[in-house]
Structures are given as structure tokens and as C-alpha cells.
Structure 1
Amino acid sequence: MTAAAVAPTGSRQHLWLGLSALPLCVLAVTVLFGWHVAVGARSVPLGTVFQALLHFDPSQFDHIIVRQLRLPRAVIAVLVGASLAVAGALLQGVTRNPLAEPHILGLMAGASFAVVMVIGVFNWLGGFWLPWVAAAGALMAALVVWLIAQWAPGGATPLTLTLAGAAMTAFLTALISVAHLLNQDSFEQLRVWLVGSLAGSGRELVWVALPWLGFALALAMLLANKVTILAMGDEVALGLGVRTGWLKIQALVCVVALTAGSVALAGPLAFVGLVIPHAVRLFFGSDYRWIVPYSALIGAGYLLGVDIIARLILRPQEIATGIVTALVGAPLFIHLVRQRAR
């Protein structure tokens, strides 16, 4: 019997919810996208936003703001939010660890460290190579975290993976801080990016990162059914014909690509991959055929909303988007840790 034949079909309630919620979620993301483009230090009427999109006039200052600043930023928010949410969902399914996400397991720190080294220390890097460098850093961090967890008593359990990821994140963050102190002039351009920000740093990289993120999101959709089986346990998955080793490699490639593209565009944004999959799972249970697409959709809307808050809370100034994601995600992380400790 094949995995596809025995994959959980879910209740009729989940099927009805999944189909009926789709247009509502798309509408919500569309509204947030329009609001995101319209608000900021200078508000732009929605009518002007549509004019700028459909009939751009370079002599109009508001049109320039919309087309050159806010529209690319909104696109980045959608791409990064969807990518990090899906990366977190895949990690939680493959590792069977509800605390797993790119930031907690050290992948984001690895990607950030690699980018910082080549830009801040060696002062070299073209835009095309940035996702490749971030991917190399994320992959190396993932492998080291897995090796550390594997060497621990009991092997690579959810707890040892989380602890190894936290240690890796702390270690690489310390190295970044040391490099910053030794070369402050070169690191000044990376200061806001290192906190996690959608403001200005990744705009020119959208077309570079888009193939990465598009490929990885499509791969995640294809893997969703088998991840549902794998989440039941390796023995169950093997018995149902799933090649667990190959599936984990594919999922790792997918997560690394999603993390690398996101870090290249917006820097390290913590806890997006933790918050969204748990929220989606409340409605759709453990079926990753629903979790993956809805994580992408809700993750996009979530980061649009978070970035709106970051721009309005101290208007006309703004705070880094990564600060808001950390403030939202940290309490959930603490709550999940306490639940597992009981």
C-alpha cells in the first residue's frame, strides 16, 4: 500500500474549512497588502495607490513612494512571511518537534553569519551570490546542530535539537558581535539588517531570491503529503513505503532554500516559523496538505501586519520588523517550552 493511499484524508469538517477559508484568507492578505502600501510615515490615499500601480506618473511624489519604496517592501513581506512559515512547518513535521523553526534550530544564525562574513569582513559580494552564501551558512549550521544533537545521550531528540540550535545561535551571534566590534565601519550598513528589517536592504534582491523561494515553496507543497506520514514516526512511514532518508534530505534542501532567500531579503526574522504553523494546526490538525499552503498564506499576511505595526507604532519613525516578530513569538516559545516540561 502506498503512502498516498493511506495518507490521512482529514474529517469533512477540515475539508469544508480548508475550502471555505481560502477566499477569506486571500481577501485578508489582499487587504493587508493594500494597507501596507498605503500607510507609513506619509499616508497615501488608496485611490492614489491604484493610480500609481495602473498609471504611474514619475512627476507625482506619492507615485514614486508607492512604486519604488512601498510596493517592493510589501512584496518582500509576502515572500518572506510565506517562506519562513512554511520552513517552520516542515521542520516541525520532519523533526516531530513543536519548537522547531529556522531561528531556534540555528539555520537563520548560520545564514546571517555567512552573509556578515562576506560583506562585513571581506567586503565582497554581488547580489546574485547572496542567497547562495546564505544557503551555505544555513546548511552548515543545520549539519553542525544535527551532529551535536546526535552525539548527545539518546541521540537527536526534539530536546537535544532545540538545545543544540540555541547553542549554535548564541555562538554565531557572539561571533557576529565580535566581528562588528573589530570592523564597525563595514558593519554599519548591516546594523539594521541584522535585527531583521524590511526597510531598504533587500529590495534589489527580490528577483534574485524569487527563484529560490518559488522553487522551495513548490517543493514544500509536493512534500506535504509524505511529511504528514513522516510526522507519525519513522517506523510507520517506512512501513508505508516512504523513503524517510530521502524525504528528510529533500525537506532540508527546501528549508535551507527558504531560510536563505528570506535572510537575503530581510535579515533574521525570529519566530515567524514558530507562530504561524501552530496557529494553522489549531484549525487543520496534523495534515500537512493543509498546513503547508495555509502557513504560506497566513505567514504572508502575518508579516504584512507585523510590518505595518513596526511602521506605525512610533510614526513617523519606525522600528525594525524583527523586534516586533520577537515580541510576538517569544511568549509563545516560552509557553510551548512550559507545556513540554509538564
Structure 2
Amino acid sequence: MSRWLPPAALAVLLLALCALSLALGARAVPLGQVLDALGGAAPDAGVGNVIWSVRIPRTAVAVLAGAALGVAGALMQALTRNPLADPGLLGVSAGAAFGIVVAVGVLGVSAVHGYVWFAFAGGLAASVVVYTLGRLGRSGLTPVKLALAGVAVTALLSSLTSAVVLTSPETLNRYRFWSAGSLADQSGDGVVRLLPFVVVGALLALACGPALNSLALGEDVAASLGRRLGLVRLQGVLAITLLTGAAVAAIGPVVFLGLVVPHLARMLAQRAGIGPDQRWLLPMSALLAPCVLLAADVLGRVLVRPAEIQAGVLMAFVGGPFFVMMVRRRRLAEL
């Protein structure tokens, strides 16, 4: 099998799911009318408005956020050499949640485009604290210390978030909607705000690829090959923070996406003869994750039409049993 076949197939699948996302929803729109609307010649002004104002921003955010979480998950697992690592391990999701409840419950911010920045700031601050704690001690920054620091900071921020939420019904209502992992009510402005963080984070992650391949051979071997491990980890943490913080701030914490997708990408890579090469796994995760997220979003829109099930709820419902089955049936692919 050619190395280019899996990425090409994933790209085609992503385009097909984007078309379905534009066509399906509370009101189904034939693909012909979707193409007409994209060309500015929609026969029905209402259809054109739905496509451009609602479904295109929603689909674009799903692609960007899905790619961000997929790359962040693959990078996190490679950086910590832990097959169960999740982008939220650095405390980014907990920091974003705390930022939102502070913005809504303490500062009175009510608009989504207002508190999304607090979510990103909270995620960034949490990752800085985790990285600083992980560097303490004689041994410096290690994957184990980084993971333990992430767990501790996540537990602390989750407790603080619960304390704020339980004292404010309005904050609880907004937090519940965000925490469900929703792609609803997206806008073109949201796409513009999300894009720079995802692009910069993805470039940083892709630049880590060769160093991650060396790190997989062991820290001593990587150091002997001239890799500056501290710099690699710092670059990786920054990339994970940008990608996860932006995605979580925009759509909420979509569980299992960054955990399961890298394993699926490694399975495809093994079948294609690519092996555990991060230079291929990271782009494949960037293509596969939005496919999974878009499929969950489209399914959630059509199952209970005209209402909808949030994509994050479906991901939790399907992702948990799928991951357990994958772990039970086969040994996790080596990192």
C-alpha cells in the first residue's frame, strides 16, 4: 500500500463529510442547492442564508477544532510516551472551564465571543503552571512529572470551577451548554478567531515531528543525536496549549477525540507501512479527527430532528466503549 493512500483517502472522506454537514440538519438541503448557494446563485434566499450564516461557519469550526484536538492528542501521546495521554492532561480543559465560569459568574460576561477569550487565557495559564511544576526538582522536566502536575492542577481547577458554578444558576446554565461540547451557534467571527491559533499550533507540532521520532528511541539516544529535549518539550507544550486551548474555548471539551484518533491514525499508518513516524502520524491525525467530529455532529443533527444531540455527547457515548474495545482486542500500538 502506498504511503500516500491513507492521507488521500482521509482527505476525500473529510470533503464528503463537509458536504453532508452543509446539506443535513433540521432542514435537509439537496446537494445541488448547496452548490448553487456556494456559487451565489441559490434559488431560495433562505437556503443561501442557512448555508452561509449557519452551516459553513459550523463546518469550518468543526474542521479546525477537530484537527487541533487530533494533532494535540497525537503530540501529547508522543511527547509523554503514554498511549493513554489526552490533550486535557496538561490542565488546558480545566483551565478553560475555570476561565469561563470566572468570566460569566464573576465578571458578568454573557456573550460567547466574550468569554471564549477567558477560556483560552485560563487554558494557557493552567499549562504554564503545569509546565513550571513539572520542571521543579533535580531531574528537571520529565513526562511522568508533567503528567502528575497536570493531574494535580486539573483537580484543583475542577474544584474551584464547581465552587463558582454552584453559587450561580446563570453560570451553571452557560457552563452546562459549553461543557456538552457543542458546535451550535458558530459564526464567521469564531472561525477567524480560531484559525490563527490552530495554524501556529499545527506548525509548531509538525516541526516537532523529527525530534519526536528520536525521542521514541529513548531520551539518551535522542540527546546523543543532538536533540535538545528541554526545547522540544517546551515547543510541544506550547503547541498543545495553543491547539487544545483554542479548540476547547470554541466548542467545549469534546472527550475521547484526542485520545482515540491518534490510535486510529497509528493503525492506518501500520497498514500502509508507514510505521510510527510522527511526520506522517501528525498530519493523518489532523485529517482523521475532523472526520470523526463532523460525523458525530451530522449524526446528532439527524437523529432527533428538528432538535439535535451535541457532538460532545455522542463522542462520549460512542468513544468510551470503542476505546475499551480497541484496548481489549489488540495491544496498543507502540509510540
Alignment correspondent of 2:307: 317
User: Is contact 1:194–1:268 with CA below 8 Å preserved after alignment?
Assistant: yes
Alignment correspondent of 2:199: 214
In 1, distance between residues paired with 2:145 and 2:317? 25
In 1, distance between residues paired with 2:295 and 2:58? 12
User: Is contact 2:124–2:242 with CA below 8 Å preserved after alignment?
Assistant: no
SS at match of 2:87: coil
- The alignment status of 1:269 with 2:259, answered yes or no, reads no
Superposed CA RMSD: 3.0
Tell me the TM-score normalized by structure 1: 0.84
- The alignment status of 1:234 with 2:219, answered yes or no, reads yes
Alignment correspondent of 2:297: 307
SS at match of 1:268: coil
Match of 2:184 among 199, 205, 214: 199
Give 1:303 shift.
0.8
Deviation string 1:273-325 (CA, Å, 9 cap, x unpaired) is 11110111113232101100000011111111111122122222111111111
Letter in 2 for 1:62: V
Alignment correspondent of 1:100: 85
Give 1:328 shift.
2.7
Alignment correspondent of 1:84: 69
Alignment correspondent of 1:7: none
Comparing 321-330 and 158-167, the one that deviates more? 158-167
Match of 2:241 among 256, 273, 276: 256
Alignment correspondent of 2:163: 178
Give 1:112 shift.
2.1
Query: How many correspondences in the alignment?
Result: 324
- The alignment status of 1:30 with 2:15, answered yes or no, reads yes
Letter in 2 for 1:290: W
In 2, distance between residues paired with 1:126 and 1:198? 16
Match of 1:55 among 40, 56, 66: 40
Deviation string 1:46-96 (CA, Å, 9 cap, x unpaired) is 111111111155962122111111111011110011000000111111111
Tell me the TM-score normalized by structure 2: 0.85
- The alignment status of 1:293 with 2:283, answered yes or no, reads yes
In 2, distance between residues paired with 1:316 and 1:178? 35
User: Is contact 2:6–2:268 with CA below 8 Å preserved after alignment?
Assistant: no
Comparing 221-230 and 27-36, the one that deviates more? 221-230
In 2, distance between residues paired with 1:69 and 1:156? 44
Identity rate of aligned residues, in percent?
38
Alignment correspondent of 2:210: 225
Residues 127 and 213 of structure 1, relative CA distance in 2, 3 Å threshold: farther
Letter in 2 for 1:323: V
SS at match of 2:4: helix
In 1, distance between residues paired with 2:4 and 2:326? 29
User: Is contact 1:202–1:265 with CA below 8 Å preserved after alignment?
Assistant: no
User: Is contact 2:70–2:258 with CA below 8 Å preserved after alignment?
Assistant: yes
User: Is contact 1:84–1:258 with CA below 8 Å preserved after alignment?
Assistant: yes
